[in-house]
Amino acid sequence: MILKGIRAKVLDRLDVKGTLEEQVSGTVGFIRRNLRVSYRIEKAGPREEIPEIPEAVYREAVLNTLTHRDYFSDTTHVYVHMHPGRMEINNPGGLPDGLSLEELGTRAVPRNWLIADIFYRMGYVERLGSGIYRMRSAMAAEHLPAPRFSPTVNAFKVELFSSFLTAGLSQEDANICHWLSIKKTATTKQLLSELPLSKATINRRLGKLAKEGWVKIHGSGRGVFYSLDYGPGINETK
């Protein structure tokens, strides 16, 4: 793995080699070292560190990368790039045969069954095929954007963001998404009462966010309401 911590220029770089266990621990340690951390103190309790992206999420992304990468590809490295407010992991090999992007996270189709079984036996994963679901669920629990997955024929990219702004949304769209991440569901009327936007602007923004895959639209007519789209089974409502 080639790892880079980027802040306008490369500030940290690491080439991780060794056993699978060494690659996991080395990569996770590098990411942890380069993430921003905030602190929370409740009453007289101890100080709690809050990383901008949950460790459970990027650890799962690393495990998925090692499990699903194409080890016979001409591309010899997995690349981890860290930017202010976001990180991306690029690995050789697209989606495994028989798995579509829409099915991602709903069933297990490992490219390398032996490696998947090794990680399971080592206790790194709880259940085969549940990693994507856990990533999405952990981001939803912290009111962060859903992970973005971008497969091509020969590569697979995972992007993780520390806010809706760093995910590339405008301030107005980010405000809508952040509010929905907290409230889970909302009607247009509820959004109007919380956000300083006109009804026409909110409806236009919600339509755009739904088209881009950020927001789900439920119901129709006067009964319509909205929720963030974290993927199948995450914060789903009827």
Token pair, residue 31, equals 């990411």
Q: Which of 161, 187, 205 is the last residue of a domain?
A: 161
Q: How many CA atoms lie within 13 A of 99 on its CB side?
A: 20
Residue 206 has what pLDDT? Answer: 95
- C-alpha pair distances (Å), 77 with each of 17, 70, 114, 227: 10, 10, 20, 38
Cβ atoms of 32 and 54 within 8 Å: the answer is no
Q: Which residue, among 127, 148, 126, 128, has the nearest Cα to 136 in the 3D structure?
A: 148
Does residue 238 belong to any structural domain of this protein?
A: no
| CB within 8 Å of 217: residues ≥ 6 apart | 206, 210, 224, 226
DSSP run (H or E) holding 10: strand 9-15
Cβ atoms of 21 and 118 within 8 Å: the answer is no
CATH number at residue 210: 1.10.10.10
Start-to-end C-alpha separation, the chain? 42
How many structural domains are present in the chain? 2
* Same structural domain, 32 and 138: yes
Phi-psi region of 7 (alpha: psi -120 to 50; beta: other; left: phi over 0): beta
Tell me the per-residue pLDDT of 23-73, one tens digit each, with 9 for 90 and over: 999 999 999 988 988 777 777 667 777 889 999 999 999 998 888 888 877
Domain that holds residue 44: 2-161
Residue 6 has what pLDDT? Answer: 56
* Same structural domain, 52 and 95: yes
Tell me the per-residue pLDDT of 83-135, one tens digit each, with 9 for 90 and over: 889 999 998 888 777 777 877 777 777 788 888 888 888 888 776 667 888 89
Q: Which residue, among 98, 86, 222, has the nearest Cα to 166 in the 3D structure?
A: 86
Residue 101 has what pLDDT? Answer: 80
* Same structural domain, 66 and 132: yes
Report phi then psi at 100, rounded to 5.
-100, 165
Does residue 166 belong to any structural domain of this protein?
A: no
* Same structural domain, 137 and 177: no
DSSP 95: S
* Same structural domain, 182 and 119: no
Q: What is the pTM of this model?
A: 0.86
Distance CA 217, CA 229 (A): 9
* Same structural domain, 92 and 184: no
* Same structural domain, 131 and 183: no
